[in-house]
Amino acid sequence: MSSRAAHRYALSVLQLAGELKQIDIVAEDFSMLYQTLKSSRDLLLFLKSPIIKREKKKAVVKELFQSNVRPLTMNFLSLITAKGRDELLPEIIEQFVKLNEERQGILKVGVDVATPLTQNQVEQLTKHLENITKKKVQIQFKTNPTVKGGFVVRVGDTVWDASVKRQLELLWEKFVGEN
């Protein structure tokens, strides 16, 4: 669940980066920061700790990232650390990515398949989903043997179940309903 504060910070940095024509630069920096935070549990715990003073956090963040990120990103990091919002950094980055994808008209789609699709099938499915959604689709495939055949598409809260398993369930419901 996303916090409103993380959304507001992400929106602000996206708008500022847009005005300065540095969205791609900030996105690149945020990607590196996100990977660093996800791979370092200690750093994440350090940022979330209410015991550590803001000045100490600000100094550590500056030492760790100043030579690795651009000035706009560093200024943003300094701001959220000074405001005591550094524990929201992973969530802010996730919101930034989401907002940036929306701005670009990109839609992330999850597809469960029983076995990996051929390149031709992937292209056809992508084209079909882009026609339906009117957005550029990025598909994330997951192999799921319970699908049995066909596929299950998840777009946000919407699910399109074109699996053999679902077709068999519908057939079963039809037979049971007639008796």
Q: In terms of domains, do 110 and 88 share one?
A: no
**Which of residues 54, 84, 102 is at a domain's end?**
102
Give tens-digit pLDDT for 78-98: 999 989 898 899 999 999 999
pTM of the complete model: 0.73
The tokens describing 103, both together, are: 């701005």
Q: In terms of domains, do 60 and 109 share one?
A: no
Q: In terms of domains, do 90 and 166 share one?
A: no
Query: What is the domain range of residue 131?
Result: 105-178
Give tens-digit pLDDT for 40-52: 999 989 988 889 9
Nearest to 14 by CA among 67, 76, 70, 88: 76
Q: In terms of domains, do 86 and 119 share one?
A: no
CATH number at residue 130: 3.40.30
8 Å CB contact between 37 and 89 = yes
Using CB atoms within 10 Å of the CB of residue 33, give its burial: 0 to 12 exposed, 13 to 18 middle, 19+ buried: buried
**Which of residues 63, 80, 102 is at a domain's end?**
102
Alpha-carbon gap, residue 137 to 11, rounded angstroms: 22
Alpha-carbon gap, residue 2 to 17, rounded angstroms: 21
Give tens-digit pLDDT for 104-138: 989 999 999 988 889 999 999 999 999 988 899 99
Q: What is the pLDDT of residue 177?
A: 74
Residue 102 reports pLDDT greater than 50: yes
Alpha-carbon gap, residue 44 to 115, rounded angstroms: 37
8 Å CB contact between 112 and 144 = yes
CATH number at residue 80: 1.10.520.20
Q: In terms of domains, do 64 and 115 share one?
A: no
- Domain count for the chain: 2
Q: In terms of domains, do 123 and 161 share one?
A: yes
Alpha-carbon gap, residue 128 to 164, rounded angstroms: 19
Q: In terms of domains, do 82 and 140 share one?
A: no
